[in-house]
Structure 1
């Protein structure tokens, strides 16, 4: 695990610091209303509530907002593993696949439980010059616990050389 993960977790789990972080680094997520439902070494949940700002003409959540929340649920786990690493590690989404199961209305929580896999992928990237790849999954559920969408992201990690 990244020795800096606890410092990153303090930022992400503090509502004020999280809002500042998102406004500074992910401004579209700030305006779309994304918030943290839970965050630890193993999993991350991102909450998004349907609003006039993030809806489509059919009164459901715009698919790009769902994708943003899904990516953030995986990306925060990834970012926690690359945060202040020496040498620095770059991360990038290489591929995205999505399956929309049900109309997204109300509050949706996207959860990724691939924390251990992100730890391993970043460790692998630090150990070899080729970097590493990881396929992660984020599942979005509504307040009734019904799956509304599934996202699969292929992440790439590579240690930066000086």
Structure 2
């Protein structure tokens, strides 16, 4: 476990600090109104609401906004593992695949439960010069608990200056 994970968690779970964090690091997510539904070492849920800003012409949430929320649910777990690491570890999305199951309206929560896998991927990256890869999944569900979309992200991690 990253020894700085708890410090990162304090930022992400504090509504005011989180707003500053995403305004600075993920400004598009700030303007789209993304928020954290839950966050811990194992999983992260990101909330997105259907609104004027997030809509498409078909009265549902634009796929790019859904993708942002899905990526953020995985990315927060990844970022928590690389936050203030020494040596530093870079992270990057290499590939994205998505399946859209149902029209996304109302409030959607995208959840990634790959916290342990992110921890291991960063550990592996710190142990070898080639780095590591991880396939993570984020599932978006509406207020009725129905799956609206499923995203698969391939992440790469590489320790700097190894």
Pair in the same fold by TM > 0.5: yes
Range class of TM-score, shorter chain: over 0.9
Q: Which runs of 5+ in 2 are unaligned?
A: none
1:73 match: 73
* Partner Cα separation in structure 2 for residue 126 and residue 66 of structure 1: 31
The whole-number CA distance in structure 2 between the counterparts of 1:59 and 1:32 is 16
1:107 counterpart residue number: 107
C-alpha displacement at 1:46, in angstroms? 0.1
RMSD in angstroms over aligned alpha carbons?
0.6
SS at match of 2:117: helix
Tell whether 2:161 aligns with 1:161: yes
Deviation at 1:9, TM superposition (A): 0.1
Partner of 2:118: 118
Structure 1: distance between partners of 2:15 and 2:119 = 25
- Give 1:84 deviation, angstroms: 0.2
Which whole-Å CA distance do the structure 2 matches of 1:9 and 1:74 have between them? Answer: 14
5+ unaligned residues in a row in structure 1: which ranges? none
Q: How high is the TM-score relative to the length of structure 1? A: 0.99
Match of 1:37 in 2: 37
Give structure 1 regions of 4+ aligned residues with deviation exceeding 6 angstroms.
none
